[in-house]
Amino acid sequence: MSIRAVRGAIQVEADERQSILDGATELVTEVMARNRIEPDDLVSILFTATPDLTAEFPAYAARQLGLTDVPLMCATEIAVPGALPRTLRLLAHFDTELRRADIRHVYLRGAAALRTDLPR
């Protein structure tokens, strides 16, 4: 068993609480599904949000999914000029038998443009 990391991102519609919660829920759910991650496999999740998203903590969505004993942290993504707006990102660490090459990183909605090299 190894600890691996998986990345993901999603662009949300607006800086509104429900939009952020819905986007974060979709992102966490898809990352876990594509990588066959069970809640007990999670070591931690770091969320970032672009500076234009301030209406809610994306980690709150993970708590609503039942990830109440997983260490979660939120931070602001650096404000690079021209960067994709309204974007939530995550970096999740988890225990797995998967090889690094088998990890499925997840880029949803407009954030798919960030990693056009990945299969959908």
- Active-site entry in 36, 63, 100, 104: 63
Active-site entry in 34, 104, 109, 115? 115
> Is 76 within 8 Å of 51 (Cβ atoms)?
yes
The b-or-e profile of 8-41 (16+ CB within 10 A means b, else e) is bbbbbeebeeebbbebbbbbbebbbeebebeeeb
pLDDT category at 30 given cuts 50, 70, 90 is: very high
Q: Is residue 17 among the annotated active site residues?
A: no
Work out the pLDDT band at 120, boundaries 50, 70, 90: low
The label of the residue with tokens 């954030």 reads: 111
> How confident is the model over 45-95, as pLDDT tens digits?
999 999 999 999 999 999 999 999 999 999 999 999 999 999 999 999 999
- Residue 45 Cα distances to 75, 94, 119, angstroms: 11, 9, 23
Region 14-29: mean pLDDT is: 98
Active site residue 63: yes
**Residue 117: its pLDDT value, please?**
79
What is the layout of strands, in order, in the sheet containing 106-108?
Answer: 72-76, 42-49, 87-96, 2-11, 106-108
Examine the pLDDT at 106 and tell me if it is beyond 70.
yes
Q: What is the mean pLDDT of residues 18-35?
A: 98
> What's the structural domain count of the chain?
1
Residue among 26, 56, 77, 86 flagged as catalytic: 77
Average pLDDT taken over every residue of the chain? 96
As a whole number, mean pLDDT of residues 21-35 equals: 98
Residue 106: inside a domain, yes or no?
Answer: yes
The pTM of this model reads 0.95
89 is catalytic: yes
Q: Is residue 120 part of a domain?
A: no
Residue 16 located in a structural domain: yes
Task: Specify the CATH number for the domain of residue 85.
Answer: 3.30.1330.40
Q: What single-letter amino acid sits at 27? A: L
- In the set 26, 56, 86, 89, the catalytic residue is 89
Tell me the residue range of the domain where 103 lies.
Answer: 2-115
Amino acid (1-letter code) at residue 118: L
Does the annotation count 13 as an active-site position?
A: no
Q: Which of 7, 34, 104, 109 is catalytic?
A: 7
